[in-house]
């Protein structure tokens, strides 16, 4: 394979570790922090996780390693959507494991959680790992979205772990995957299997964080990639001067990606879902706000521009959010099969009409039929509407077009409105990781092994103080249950990690809000 200079440089890059992890395995000790509680619903979460709830946060520091020496056989899986840096998490885990004892073993289970169930794995060696260092993608072992959540699945995983003599399992994933990690850790502890479970925080959406998890890996690389593409489109728009580009970016449940890209590229318009929710804006109000910008520019002879739209924007619109919640309940359980069995859209429309409240049906009725049908496409694993399948960029540009035609008829708008639509998602998920993500991910994996070595389970690998040079990063662990609350999923109450939304009183949004008119 002929490598470009950039590819060669990426393969040869040596990731940087936090200072306390550079001392050598024999000189890393543990400092105990505060005991933890869940972010909400403490009594319910504690009852569901009696063996792993309320544990202390911990930090690694320089000092004599007091962990018990034993051979470690660790299994690792990649779970959920790809994010730049996943290969470096595995590389860091492998290097720490081998640095402790060259006889330690790392098994990669293929295709995500299903690899654990199907016992489909590969044993890593130096040559295997070296081919994937600092590269994007999850192709080293593949990923998947199977959920580990049933008693039957846990029993199978326990048998697979017993067969291979696994001492620990590392789950690299987002909020749902790490929720599954917490549940699996609780099962393993309750049944005295001796198998530890450690999670690593991954998602380019940026919504898996709290005061401890300052960033999820992949966010830095993905937003840089999307921003480069958006910048290219802005230059094209300024050259052709005839199109408004409506660009949807990743971020179903939070607008971190949209906000970061807006700060990097300064588009004409950027919607922030959390602001839409806080102001209780309707679809027509959003369309009117966008139309104001289009009209102002159009009347000045500028019939072009760029609008950034977060993937999950419709869920933040209160009237639309209520509609989606009702649809999720309407199709819970056996109702999905009943709905899918109906012969045509007319029959399905009547079924919908009978199941929705009058208020939600009024919102549903004004939507273009294409969007109506997208709301009833295949459910996600939780039985919920797949918001990413709703072409919200086309929905909003259609509503803006209608509004502008009214203004043209009234004589207030004198411009032209031509549109092009884009969705940037897959383009950013497997890029070569930035130096930050290469360092951060390698540190997360190395740190995960230290948590295993010291006997922790149900913990998330955490590396903080990330705005400083890597030498000053702080490595440690946090019980996953600290991030959990109870939410309604597929018609049932479930323990899940609470997603972190854009903070409207935080510095990034306040800076954006202060400069967006300009």
Catalytic residue, chosen from 205, 207, 437, 439, is 205
Give dist(CA 386, CA 407) in Å, integer: 34
181 in the same domain as 108: yes
Q: Which residue has the tokens 């034993």?
A: 70
287 in the same domain as 396: yes
Q: For the chain, state the CA radius of gyration.
A: 24
pLDDT (tens digit, 9 = 90+) per residue, 20-51? 898 888 999 999 999 999 999 999 999 999 99
Name the nearest CA neighbour of 513 among 249, 308, 262, 230: 262
Q: Structure tokens of 275?
A: 């602001």
Burial class (CB in 10 A: 0-12, 13-18, 19+), 371: middle
The DSSP annotation for 6-43 comes to HHHHHHH--PPPPGGGSS-GGGEEEEEEEE---SS-HH
Flag whether 438 is in a domain: yes
Flag whether 233 is in a domain: yes
pLDDT (tens digit, 9 = 90+) per residue, 196-212? 999 999 999 999 888 88
pLDDT bucket at 7, cuts 50 / 70 / 90: confident
Give dist(CA 75, CA 108) in Å, integer: 6
246 in the same domain as 200: no
260 in the same domain as 159: no
405 in the same domain as 293: yes
Residues facing 76 on adjacent strands: 108, 170
Flag whether 336 is in a domain: yes
Name the nearest CA neighbour of 57 among 349, 482, 503: 482
Contact 212, 444 (CB under 8 A): no
Task: Report the length, in residues, of the chain.
Answer: 518
106 in the same domain as 230: no
Domain that holds residue 171: 71-134+148-218+433-482
Helix (H), strand (E), coil (C) string for 293-356: HHHHHHHCCCCCEEEEEECCHHHHCHHHHHHHHHHHHHCCCCHHHHHHCCCCHHHHHHHHHHHC
Residue ranges of E strands in 359-500: 419-424, 459-464, 474-479, 484-489, 492-497
pLDDT the model gives residue 129? 97
pLDDT (tens digit, 9 = 90+) per residue, 86-114? 999 999 999 999 999 999 999 999 999 99
pLDDT (tens digit, 9 = 90+) per residue, 164-199? 999 999 999 999 999 999 999 999 999 999 999 999
Flag whether 266 is in a domain: yes
Contacts of 388 (CB under 8 A, 6+ apart): 252, 311, 312, 425
Flag whether 65 is in a domain: no
**Domain with 354 in it: what CATH number?**
3.40.50.460
Output DSSP code: residue 218.
T
**pLDDT higher than threshold 80 for residue 120:** yes
Three-state DSSP state, 496: strand
Residue 118 a catalytic site member? no
Helix (H), strand (E), coil (C) string for 88-154: HHHHHHHHHHHHHCCCCEEEEECCCHHHHHHCCEEECCHHHHHCCCCCCCCCCCCCCCCCCCCHHHH
The residue among 135 and 388 whose pLDDT is bigger is: 135
Give dist(CA 393, CA 171) in Å, integer: 34
Contacts of 461 (CB under 8 A, 6+ apart): 198, 199, 200, 201, 444, 445, 447, 448, 451, 477
- Write down the pTM of the prediction: 0.91
pLDDT (tens digit, 9 = 90+) per residue, 322-371? 998 898 888 887 788 889 899 999 999 999 999 999 999 998 988 888 88
State the total domains in the chain.
Answer: 2
249 in the same domain as 349: yes
Three-state DSSP state, 54: coil
Determine the distance from the C-alpha atom of residue 334 to the mean position of all C-alpha atoms in its chain, rounded to a whole number: 29
């Amino acid at each position: 394979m002929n490598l470009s200079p950039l590819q060669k440089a990426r393969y040869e890059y040596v990731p940087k570790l936090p200072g306390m992890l550079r001392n050598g395995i024999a000189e890393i000790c543990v400092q105990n922090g505060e005991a933890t509680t869940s972010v909400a619903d403490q009594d319910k979460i504690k009852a569901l996780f009696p063996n792993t709830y309320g544990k202390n946060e911990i930090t690694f520091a320089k000092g004599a390693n007091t962990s018990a020496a034993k051979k470690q056989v660790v299994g690792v899986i990649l779970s959920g959507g790809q994010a730049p840096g996943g290969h470096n998490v595995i590389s860091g885990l492998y290097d720490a494991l081998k640095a402790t004892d060259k006889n330690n073993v790392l098994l990669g289970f293929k295709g995500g959680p299903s690899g654990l169930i199907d016992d489909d794995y590969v044993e890593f060696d130096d040559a295997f790992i070296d081919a994937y260092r600092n590269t994007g993608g999850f192709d080293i072992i593949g990923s998947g979205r199977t959920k580990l959540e049933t008693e039957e699945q846990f029993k199978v995983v326990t048998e697979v772990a017993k067969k291979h003599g696994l001492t620990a399992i590392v789950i690299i994933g987002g909020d749902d995957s790490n929720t599954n990690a917490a549940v699996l850790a609780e099962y393993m502890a309750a049944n005295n299997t001796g198998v530890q479970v450690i999670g690593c925080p991954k998602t380019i959406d940026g919504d898996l964080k709290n005061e401890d998890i300052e960033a999820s890996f992949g966010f830095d690389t993905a937003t840089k990639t999307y921003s480069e593409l958006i910048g290219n489109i802005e230059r094209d728009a300024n050259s052709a001067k005839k199109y408004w580009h409506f660009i949807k970016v990743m971020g179903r449940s939070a607008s971190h990606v949209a906000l970061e890209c807006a700060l990097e590229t300064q588009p004409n318009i950027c919607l922030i879902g959390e602001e839409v929710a806080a102001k209780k804006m309707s679809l027509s109000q959003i369309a009117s706000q966008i139309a104001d910008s289009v009209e102002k520019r159009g009347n000045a002879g500028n019939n072009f521009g760029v609008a950034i739209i977060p993937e999950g924007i419709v869920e933040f619109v209160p009237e639309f959010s209520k509609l989606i919640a009702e649809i999720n309940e309407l199709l819970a359980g056996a109702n999905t099969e009943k709905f899918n069995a109906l012969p045509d859209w007319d029959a399905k429309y009547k079924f919908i009409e009978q199941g929705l409240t009058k208020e939600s049906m009024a919102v549903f009725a004004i939507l273009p039929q294409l969007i109506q049908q997208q709301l009833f496409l295949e459910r996600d694993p939780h039985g919920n509407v797949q918001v990413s399948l709703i072409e919200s960029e086309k929905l909003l540009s259609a509503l803006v077009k209608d509004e502008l035609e009214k203004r043209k008829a009234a004589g207030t708008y004198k411009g032209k409105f031509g549109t092009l639509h884009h969705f940037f998602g897959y383009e950013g998920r497997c890029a070569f990781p930035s130096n930050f993500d290469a360092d951060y991910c390698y540190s997360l994996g190395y740190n995960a092994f230290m948590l295993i070595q010291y006997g922790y389970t149900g913990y998330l690998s955490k590396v903080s103080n990330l705005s400083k040079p890597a030498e000053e990063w702080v490595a440690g662990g946090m019980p996953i249950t600290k991030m959990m609350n109870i939410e309604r999923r597929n018609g049932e109450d479930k323990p899940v990690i609470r997603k972190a939304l854009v903070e409207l009183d935080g510095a990034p949004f306040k800076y954006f809000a202060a400069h967006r008119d300009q």
